[in-house]
Amino acid sequence: MEEDKSYMKNVKNPTIKKILEKYKEIALLGKVNALLGWDLNVNLPMQGGAYRSEESAYVTELITNKWLDSEFRTLIEKANCENDLTLEEKAIVRNLNVATKFYYKVPKELIIENEKVTSGAFIDWRTAKEENNFKKFQPHLTKIVEIDKQIAQYLGYKNNPYDALLDLYEPELTAAECSRLFNGVKRELVPFIKKITKSKGYNDNVKFINRQMHYPKADQEKILNYTIEKMGFDFSRGRVDISAHPFTTTLGTNDIRTTTFYSEIDFRDSFTSSIHETGHALYELGINPEFASTPLEGGVSLGMHEGMSRFWENMVGKNPHFLRFMTPVFKSIYDKQLAGIDAEGLIKTFDMVKPSLIRIYADEVTYSLHIILRFEMENDIINGKIAVKDAPEAWADKAKKLLGVEPKTDSEGVLQDVHWAYGNFGYFPSYAMGNLYGAQILSVMQKQVKVDQELAQGNLQPIKNWLDNNLHQYGSLYFPTELIKKITGKPLDYTYFTKYIIKKYSEIYDLTSS
């Protein structure tokens, strides 16, 4: 049976209709703020920063006031008591409850204190990291943890205060569920990584890419445009620009911006990061346009969004079949730079497994372990099992157990990421959830699309079309837990991910025969 896709026509409830009118103002202002942020990262002249932050702060204040507007609040309360809501109407109310939770439950004074503490923390985190000195950041982190514990109390939780923080980033996710999934990943991947690094012929110093060579920006741009066009990125509905840290932002339903960064000594970074960001963009571009400016707009969660971007980056972009297809394309442009390198050599550099200390440079196999380390640290810190002063040691200990490497300095360990300075406890696990979502979705996609065969031909469109039909279109209509069940028929299970990893890397490292 054909589903009725004209969702917004199904919204008939008068309270919800009024809510949608008011919400539209929030949505429009949100896009204005996103445009200010995009421009800040892409175009802003050096001295424009101060005035820009005043502009952004003012728009943010307008948005906050609209969320706190008493009439809007009353309407949401009323909607929460309505019976007979349609699927779409229920999802609208549910999403508004999620979005307003922080505003309505946490006292304004605590939100202001949190902003003050985190902006001070950010500055000292930066110098602490430069100077390798955790002690400088420690008092800030102590305060941040105290505030986050208070925030958790106001938000409310059943068993674990960390659940309240996780739920801010990935709705319904709990520490118990993270432990269940992540322990499974650990159990499978920690020994598998050892098997790889101890295998015959393992070489963590493969230098197929000669970093003495020059890879001109204009050449990288050619490859990038070729690749993202193949992915189905619609240049009449989006743009690609340059920024120091690649990101994607939605400025309107037909205006999605991604950015990339070119390193002229290595063409791989712009290639993989563009595929990653285009994955985010395709999600946004594929959402039912009727959801625009409603609480159903945008991807459903950080984890699902990262799931899609990492799906494209790792499961498509770094798929050996696709890399074999791309090799002649790379070599037609970098004939001199890649002389003597074949497809198998390129696969070994794109898919090299090397346990290391820094998360952002981690490969597909070790990446989730970096996240699991942070999840365990956060859970223990919020529950008082690790004292803030002992965090560097606890970090080093976990790095050794999970990755087999030990940080020599705080900068390589506990100080490496900015997230804690921003007070974002609960954010990290969504990255690893993304990997699990991606693998489970791939397992179902493979039953309907001959993924490897298509990739060997360089056909990415069937993958994009499948994701449009089965995932992208729904925007925020279903929560991640419901969506994964709707797409795959099963709740989230870590074994899809571990099986995918073990199969892919056993082939790359020739472990199957041993």
- Segment 309 to 368, residues that bind Mg ion, using CB under 5 A: 309
> Rounded to the nearest whole angstrom, what is the least distance from the CB of residue 389 to Mg ion in the complex?
32
Sign of CA dihedral 228, 230, 232, 238: positive
Of 208 and 247, which CB lies nearer to Mg ion in the complex structure? 247
Q: Which of 343, 351, 361 is nearest to 319 (CA)?
A: 351
- Six token digits for residue 317: 């972009």
Specify whether the CB–CB gap between 387 and 377 falls below 8 A: no
Q: Does 249 bind Mg ion (CB under 5 A)?
A: no
In the complex with Mg ion, which residue's Cβ is closer, 143 or 370? 370
If the CB atoms of residues 95 and 309 are measured against Mg ion, the closer one turns out to be 309
Q: Closest separation between CB of residue 333 and Mg ion, Å?
A: 26
User: Residue 313 catalytic?
Assistant: no
Query: If residue 220 lies in a helix (H) or strand (E), which one and from where to where?
Result: helix 217-231
Q: Which residues lie closer than 8 Å to 104 by C-beta, 6 or more apart?
A: 73
Alpha carbons 229 and 88: distance in angstroms, whole number: 33
Q: Please identify the residue of the shown chain whose CB is closest to the bound Mg ion.
A: 309
Q: Closest distance between Mg ion and the C-beta of residue 248, in Å? A: 7
State the Cα–Cα distance between residues 464 and 286, nearest whole angstrom: 9
SS3 386: coil
Distance of CA 115 to the CA centre of its chain: 23
The nearest distance, CB 358 to Mg ion, in angstroms, is 17
Task: Name the residue nearer to Mg ion (CB basis): 157 or 247.
Answer: 247
Q: Identify residues 109-148 at the interface with Mg ion (CB under 5 A).
A: none
CB 514 within 8 A of CB 327: no
Give 471 or 508: the residue with its C-beta nearer to Mg ion: 471
Min dist. Cβ of residue 239 to Mg ion (A): 18
Phi-psi region of 258 (alpha: psi -120 to 50; beta: other; left: phi over 0): beta
Judged by CB under 5 A, the number of residues near Mg ion is 1
CB atoms < 10 A from the CB of 257, how many? 24
Kindly state the smallest distance separating residue 244's Cβ from Mg ion, in Å: 15
Which CB atom, from 309 or from 327, has the smaller least distance to Mg ion? 309
Q: Which of 177, 277, 364, 376 is catalytic?
A: 277
Helix, strand, coil % in the chain, rounded to nearest 5: 65, 5, 30
Tell me the two tokens of residue 88: 């779409």
Residues 411-450 that bind Mg ion (CB under 5 A): none
Binders of Mg ion among residues 301 to 320 (CB under 5 A) are 309
Smallest distance, Mg ion to C-beta of residue 250, A: 13
Q: DSSP code of 205?
A: T
DSSP string, 290-307: GGTTSTT-S-S-HHHHHH
Contact of 32 with 40, CB cutoff 8 Å: no
Encoded one letter per residue, x for contact with Mg ion by CB under 5 A and - for no contact, window 269-308 reads: ----------------------------------------
Tell me whether residue 248 or residue 293 sits nearer to Mg ion (CB atom). Answer: 248
The identity of residue 158, as a single letter, is K
Q: In terms of C-beta density within 10 A (0-12 exposed, 13-18 middle, 19 or more buried), how is residue 222 classed?
A: middle
Active site residue ranges: 277
User: In the complex, which residues of this chain contact Mg ion (CB under 5 A)?
Assistant: 309
